[in-house]
Structure 1
Amino acid sequence: MAKIAYILLCHKDPEGIIAQAQRLTATGDFVSIHFDARAPREAFEAIRTALAANPSVTFARKRIKCGWGAWSLVEATLLAVQSAVDAFPHATHFYMLSGDCMPIKSAEFAHAFLDREEVDYIESFDFFTSDWIKTGIKEERLIYRHWFNERTHKRLFYGSMHLQQKLGLARQIPSDIQMQIGSQWWCLRRRTVEAVLDFCRLRKDVMRFFRTTWIPDETFFQTLVRHLVPEAEIRSRTLTFLMFTDYGMPVTFYNDHYDLLVSQDYLFARKISPDAKDLKERLGKLYAARGVRFTISNEGRSLFRFLTGRGRVGRRFAPRFWERESTLGRERTLMMVTCKKWHVAKRLVERVRDVTNLPAMDYLFNEGSTPLPDLGGIQTTLEKRTRHRRALVRMLFDYWQSDRLLFCIDPANVDLMQDFYNDKAQVRLLEIECDFTDDYLVGHARRVGLAGDRTPKETIDRLLPTIRYDVKFESDRIRDANFPGFHRIRQSASVDENTLPLAEFLDIPVEKAREIAATGHLFVD
C-alpha cells in the first residue's frame, strides 16, 4: 500500500503546521518540513519542540530564506525531499504541500488512489508551445540570468534583463533537455525522486542554469521528471485543487466551500483561508475517517467561471466585497509609514524591503506613479485606489501571498489612516519626524504652487511660519488621534534611539532594525 512522505513548505502559522503534521502522520504517513528562514526562529523552534517525539516527522537539514519566483524555493524543496528520502525508507510517494493546503479526501482514499496506477502526477507542458503562461515574460525567464527578484527589486530585475538584451548575452538552454512548465504541486514516486536527486548531483551544468532562471519552481521538477521518466508513466496533472482569478491570484476557500471541495477530483486543496476554522476542522476529521464514499462531480472551476461571468455582465448574486465593509483579515498586519518628506519615507521603505523582504510600497494613495501589480484596473488611478482602498489593500495582501504589508501615507491623510484602523486587521503606524529648514519649506511652497521663482522675499517670509505651522499641525493631529500601535523615529535621534521603535513597528529582531536605522543619508534632502 502507498505510504506518502509529504514535503511541507511553509513560512508562518506554527500552530497550523504542527496540527497539519500530526494529522498527516496519524494515519501512517510521513512529513518533511522546510520552514522559511525569513520567519522567526522562535516559531521554528516551537514546531521542532512540538514534533520532536514524532518519528514520522523530519526537517530539512538547513533553512533557506525563500523568495517568490526565486531558486530558493526549489533549493528548499530539494533539501526537504532529501531529508524525507533519508529518513523514511518505506515512503513510496512524495507529495508537495504548502502550509495553506488541506486534504479534501480521506487518507484511505488517497492511498487507494495512488495504488491504482504506477505513475507520477505532475503538470508538465511544453514551455514554448503551450499557453500555460498567460501574461508577462516567457522565453526571457530562461535565456537571461536573473539575479534579482522582480517583486522586491523590480528596477534591478528589468534593468539587468534589458542590459543583457542590449549586450546580446542571451544564453542557450542545455541542449539535451526539453523545457517543461506546470504547477509546483506534484506527487512523485520514490524512484522518480531518487532519479531527480541523482541527476542534481551529476549535472552541475543544468543546476547552474536553473539557479538563475525566473520562477524555476514551475519548470525545474516539471522538466527533469519528463527527462527521466517515460511519458506513459506521467499523468500531466496536479492532485492539489487550486483555482486562479482573472487577475492571476489564487482563489481562497472559506467555511462554506466544504461540499464543493470534497466533490472535486483531487486529494488536497489550496489555499484555505486562515480564518476558515470550521472548514479546517471538518477537513481534518475527514482525512482520518474510514469507509467514506465520495461523489466526484468536479464542477468547481466551471462553477467559478459561471459565477464570475455573471458578475461581468452586472448579474451578480452578491455585492462585491468592496461594496460592503469587508475586513482585510484578522490575521493580517498592515503597517503605514507617514512622513512629510516623501523621499525620506521612500528611502526607509526601500531599506525595509532589502533587509526584511517585506512587501512594501511607496505612497500608495498619494502618487499615481507608485509601481503596483496589475490588479484588474482597480490600481490604475488615485481616485480608484482611494475609493476602493480596502479592496485594493486586500488584493495586494493576496498578490504577495503575505500576511504583512507596508505602505507610505501622507500625514495629511488622517481620515484614511483612521479608516484602516477601523478594520479588524492589526494596524500600526510609524511617523518619521524630520527637521525642516527654511530653504526646504521654501522649496516645498514652490513645489505645491504656494510660491514661484519670482515670489518676493517679503511674501516668502510671511508664508514660512504658516507652512511650518501646517506641518506641525498635521503631526499633532496624528498624535491626538491616539492610534494604537503608533511609533515614531526622529531625524534628531541617534541610531540606537531609532532602533527600538523600528523593531517594535516592523516586529523584527533588534539587529535588523539597527541595520535599517543606520541607513546612510536617510534624512538628507
Structure 2
Amino acid sequence: MAKIAFILLCHKDPEAIIKQAQRLTAAGDYMSIHFDARAAPSAYARIRKALADNDNVTFARKRIRCGWGEWSLVQATLNAIEAAADAFPRATHFYMLSGDCMPIKSAEYIHDFLGNHDRDFIESFDYFESDWIKTGWREERLIYRHFFNEREQKKLFYASYNLQKRFNLTRKVPEDIQVMIGSQWWCLRRRTIEWILDFVKRRRDVIRFFRTTWIPDETFFQTVVRHLVPGHEIESRTLTFLLFSDYGMPVTFYNDHYDLLLSQDYLFARKISPEAKELKRRLGVLYSSEGTEFQISNEGASLYKFLSGRGRIGRRFTMRFWESEASLGHERELLIVVCKKWHVAKRLLERIRQVTNVPCVEYLFSEADTDLPDLGGIQATMNKRHRHRRALMRMLFEYYDTDRMIICLDPANLDLMQDFCGDRASTKLLEIECHFSDEYLIGHAQRVGLAGKRTPRETIDRLMPTIRHDLVFESDRIREADFPGHLRIRESNPVDLNVDPLMEFLSISRDQAHHIASADHLFTD
C-alpha cells in the first residue's frame, strides 16, 4: 500500500499547520515541514512543541528565508525532502503541499489511487515550445542571472537585468538538459526522489545554473525529473486542484465549494480560505472516512471560466487590420440564422434547401467538422476561420458562385454578427427563439464542459439559473445591438405568425414561407 511523505512548505498560521499535520499523519502517512525562517521564532516553536510526540512528523534540518521567484524555495523543498527520505524509509511517495492545501478525497481513496498508478505526477512541458507561460519573460528567466528578489529589491533586480542585456552577458543552458516548466505541486515516487537527491550532489553545474534563474520552483524539479525518469513513467499533470484568475492569482475556495471540489479528478485542492472553517471541517471528516465513493465530473476549470467570464462584456469589435478594406461585396446578401439549439437551425436550413436554391452553411464558426470545401487551408482550423472571417466568406460566395448565402451562428457569436452586419454587403438576421427545458440546459452544460454526467444534482440545481439567465442575456445583447434587418421567429408562435418573418428574410412567397414554417418537428428536442 502507498505510504506518503508530505513535503509541507509553510510560513504562517501555526495552528492550521498543526491540525494539517495531525490530520494527514493520523492515516499512517508522514510529513516533513519546512517553516520559513522569515516567520516569527515563537510560531515555529509552537509547531515544534505541538508535534514533538508525533513520530510521523519531521522537520527540515536547516530553515531557509524564502522569497518568491528565488532559488530559496527550491532549496527549502530539497531540505524538507532530505529530512523525509532519512526519517521515513517506508514512504513510497513524496507529495508537495502548502499550508493552504486540503485533501478532497479520503485517505483510503488517495492510497488506492497512488498504489494503482506507478508513475510520477508532475507537470512537465517543454519550456520553449509549450504555451505554459502566457505573458511576460520567457528566455530572459534563463539566459540572464538573477541575483535579487524582484518583489523586495525591484530596482536592483531590473538594474541587473538591464546591465546584462546591454552588454549581452547571456549564458547557455547546460548542454544535456532540456528545460521543462510546470506547476510546483507534484507527487513523486521514492525512487525518483532518491535519484533527484543523488543528481543534486553530482551535477553542481546544473544547481549553479538554476540558482540564478527566475522562478526556479516552476522549472527545477520539472526539468530534473524529465531528465532522470523515462517519459512513459511520468504523467504531466498535478494531483492538486488549483485555478488561477485572469490576473495570475490563485483562486480561493470557500465553504460553498465542497461539492465542486469533491467532483474534481484530483486528490488535494489549493487554496482553501483560512475563513472557510466549515469547509475544512467537512474535508477533514471526509479524509478519515472509509468506503466513500466519488462521482468524478471534473468540470471545475470550465465552470470557473464560464462564471468569471460572464461579467466581461463590453469589448470593442472592429474590422481587423488585414480586413480594413475587405468587404463581402456591395452586390452580395448574407443571411444569418441565429439559434442556440443548433439542431433546430439545421432542420430549418434543410427545409430552406428544399424550397430555395440558396447555398446554406451550418455552424462553420462553432463546429470544426462543418462540411466545407477546400479553400486553400483557410477553413482548416477554427482559429483561422475566426481570424480570417471575411476572407473565408468571400471565398465561399465565390466557390458557390452565388450572391446570396445562408449561414448559422450561435447567439454567443455577437462579434461575428457585428462584423458581418457592419459590412457593405446586405445582411439580414433571423433569430430563432426556443423554449429551454431543464433537460436541455443540463445537456447544454455537459456539452460545453460546465458539468459532467456524474456532477451532483445539487451542483446542477445551483448552476441552472445562471445558465438560463446567460442564454437570455445573449438574446438581449443581440436585441440591444439593434441590427438592421433583424427578424425573429418563435417556438411559442403559431405557424402563421412565423410566416411573415420567413417571407421577408428569404424574399420568398407566402406559400413557400408557410411550407418552411410548418415543417414537422422543427422545434423538437
TM-score range with shorter-chain normalisation?
0.5 to 0.7
Pairs within 5 Å for 1:38-57: 38-57=38-57
Quick one: distance in 1 between partners of 2:242 and 2:266? 10
1:162 positional shift: 1.0
1:311 positional shift: 1.3
Quick one: distance in 2 between partners of 1:241 and 1:99? 14
Pairs within 5 Å for 1:135-146: 135-146=135-146
Counterpart in the other structure of 1:65:
65
Quick one: distance in 1 between partners of 2:162 and 2:312? 37
Quick one: distance in 2 between partners of 1:286 and 1:48? 27
1:151 positional shift: 1.2
Q: Name the larger-Rg structure.
A: 2
* Stretches of 4+ aligned residues off by more than 2 angstroms: none
Quick one: distance in 2 between partners of 1:305 and 1:148? 35
Work out whether 1:91 is the aligned partner of 2:98: no
Of all paired residues, the percent bearing the same amino acid is 73
Quick one: distance in 2 between partners of 1:282 and 1:260? 13
Work out whether 1:296 is the aligned partner of 2:296: yes
Work out whether 1:123 is the aligned partner of 2:123: yes
Counterpart in the other structure of 1:74:
74
- The alignment partner of 1:275 has SS state of coil
Work out whether 1:15 is the aligned partner of 2:18: no
Instruction: Look up the equivalent residue of 2:295 and give its one-letter code.
Output: T
Quick one: distance in 2 between partners of 1:273 and 1:62? 29
Counterpart in the other structure of 1:256:
256
Pairs within 5 Å for 1:261-410: 261-313=261-313
1:150 positional shift: 1.1
Structure 1 unaligned blocks of 5 or more: 315-525
Counterpart in the other structure of 1:414:
none
Instruction: Look up the equivalent residue of 1:245 and give its one-letter code.
Output: S
- The alignment partner of 2:32 has SS state of strand
1:14 positional shift: 0.4
1:145-180 CA distance string (max 9 Å, x none): 000111111221111111001111100100001000
Quick one: distance in 2 between partners of 1:132 and 1:158? 23
Counterpart in the other structure of 1:215:
215
Instruction: Look up the equivalent residue of 2:83 and give its one-letter code.
Output: S
Instruction: Look up the equivalent residue of 1:130 and give its one-letter code.
Output: S
1:130 positional shift: 0.4
Quick one: distance in 1 between partners of 2:22 and 2:179? 37
1:326-370 CA distance string (max 9 Å, x none): xxxxxxxxxxxxxxxxxxxxxxxxxxxxxxxxxxxxxxxxxxxxx
- The alignment partner of 2:251 has SS state of coil
Counterpart in the other structure of 2:181:
181
Quick one: distance in 1 between partners of 2:151 and 2:135? 15
1:346-400 CA distance string (max 9 Å, x none): xxxxxxxxxxxxxxxxxxxxxxxxxxxxxxxxxxxxxxxxxxxxxxxxxxxxxxx
TM, length-normalised to structure 2: 0.60
Quick one: distance in 2 between partners of 1:184 and 1:308? 25
Instruction: Look up the equivalent residue of 1:47 and give its one-letter code.
Output: I
1:308 positional shift: 1.3
- The alignment partner of 2:97 has SS state of strand
- The alignment partner of 2:108 has SS state of helix
Instruction: Look up the equivalent residue of 2:261 and give its one-letter code.
Output: L
1:138 positional shift: 0.8
Quick one: distance in 2 between partners of 1:71 and 1:103? 28
Quick one: distance in 1 between partners of 2:40 and 2:214? 27
Instruction: Look up the equivalent residue of 2:274 and give its one-letter code.
Output: P
1:30-71 CA distance string (max 9 Å, x none): 000000000000000100000000000000001100001100
Quick one: distance in 2 between partners of 1:222 and 1:237? 11
Quick one: distance in 2 between partners of 1:167 and 1:194? 41
1:310 positional shift: 1.2
1:175-205 CA distance string (max 9 Å, x none): 0010000000000000000000000000011
Structure 2 unaligned blocks of 5 or more: 315-525
Quick one: distance in 2 between partners of 1:11 and 1:98? 9
Pairs within 5 Å for 1:158-169: 158-169=158-169
1:444-471 CA distance string (max 9 Å, x none): xxxxxxxxxxxxxxxxxxxxxxxxxxxx
- The alignment partner of 1:244 has SS state of coil
Instruction: Look up the equivalent residue of 2:91 and give its one-letter code.
Output: A
Alignment RMSD (CA, Å): 1.0
Quick one: distance in 2 between partners of 1:286 and 1:6? 18
Instruction: Look up the equivalent residue of 1:236 and give its one-letter code.
Output: S
Instruction: Look up the equivalent residue of 2:281 and give its one-letter code.
Output: E
1:313 positional shift: 2.3
Quick one: distance in 1 between partners of 2:179 and 2:132? 13
Counterpart in the other structure of 1:384:
none
Quick one: distance in 1 between partners of 2:209 and 2:40? 31
Quick one: distance in 1 between partners of 2:15 and 2:65? 21
1:136 positional shift: 1.4
Instruction: Look up the equivalent residue of 2:195 and give its one-letter code.
Output: A
Pairs within 5 Å for 1:472-491: none
Counterpart in the other structure of 2:195:
195
1:69-100 CA distance string (max 9 Å, x none): 10000000000000000000000000000000
Q: What is the total number of aligned residue pairs between the two structures?
A: 315
1:87-121 CA distance string (max 9 Å, x none): 00000000000000000000000001001121000
- The alignment partner of 1:8 has SS state of strand
Quick one: distance in 1 between partners of 2:168 and 2:300? 46
Instruction: Look up the equivalent residue of 2:29 and give its one-letter code.
Output: D
Quick one: distance in 2 between partners of 1:20 and 1:305? 30
Counterpart in the other structure of 2:224:
224
1:284 positional shift: 0.8
Quick one: distance in 1 between partners of 2:27 and 2:308? 38
